[in-house]
Amino acid sequence: MLYRVNDLHLSLPDQTRKPLLGAAPRIEILRGLNFEIEQGEVLGIVGGSGSGKSTLGRAMVRLLEPTGGTIAFDGQDITHMDEAALRPMRRQFQMIFQDPLSSLNPRRRVGGIIAGPLRLYGVEDTTRAVGDALDHVGLPRAFARRYPHELSGGQRQRVGIARAIALRPEFILADEIVSGLDVSSQAQVLNLLGGLVREFGLTLAFISHDLSVIRRLCTRIMVLHEGRIVEMAETAELFANPKAAYTRSLLEAIPLPDLEQVWD
pLDDT in tens, 158-204: 999 999 999 999 999 999 998 888 888 888 999 999 999 999 999 99
Q: Which of 114-123, 138-147, 245-254 has the lowest mean pLDDT?
A: 245-254
Question: pLDDT value at position 254?
Answer: 67
Domain membership of residue 144 (yes or no) is yes
DSSP type of residue 50:
T
Residue 195 in any domain: the answer is: no
Give the H or E element holding residue 100.
helix 100-103
Average pLDDT over the chain, rounded to an integer: 91
What 8-state DSSP symbol labels residue 107?
T
234 lies in some domain = no
pTM of the predicted model as reported, rounded to 2 decimal places:
0.91
114 occurs within a structural domain? yes
Tell me what pLDDT residue 262 has: 43
Check pLDDT > 60 for residue 205. Answer: yes
Give the chain's largest Cα–Cα span: 58
Asked if residue 115 is part of any domain, the answer here is: yes
Whether residue 43 has pLDDT greater than 70: yes
Per-residue pLDDT tens digits for 81-120: 999 999 999 999 999 988 777 788 889 999 999 999 999 9
Q: Which helix (H) or strand (E) holds 255?
A: none
Q: Does residue 81 fall inside a structural domain?
A: no
Let me know if residue 54 belongs to a domain: no
Q: What is the pLDDT of residues 120-139, one digit of tens each?
A: 999 989 999 999 999 999 99
In angstroms, rounded to a whole number, what is the distance separating the alpha carbons of residues 218 and 89? Answer: 25
Average pLDDT for residues 211-230, to the nearest whole number? 93
* Predicted local distance difference test score (pLDDT) of residue 263: 44
Positions of E strands within the chain: 3-13, 26-37, 42-46, 68-73, 76-77, 93-96, 171-175, 203-208, 220-225, 228-234
pLDDT recorded at residue 253: 75
Looking at residue 261, its pLDDT comes to 45
Distance, in Å, from the CA atom of 198 to the CA atom of 236, rounded to the nearest integer, reads: 20
Quote the number of domains for the chain: 1
Residue 143 lies in a domain: yes
The pLDDT value recorded for residue 255 is 63
**Would you mind telling me the total number of residues written for the chain in this entry?**
264
Give the domain range for residue 138.
94-168
Over residues 235-243, mean pLDDT: 95
In this predicted structure, the answer to whether residue 144 has a pLDDT above a threshold of 70 is: yes
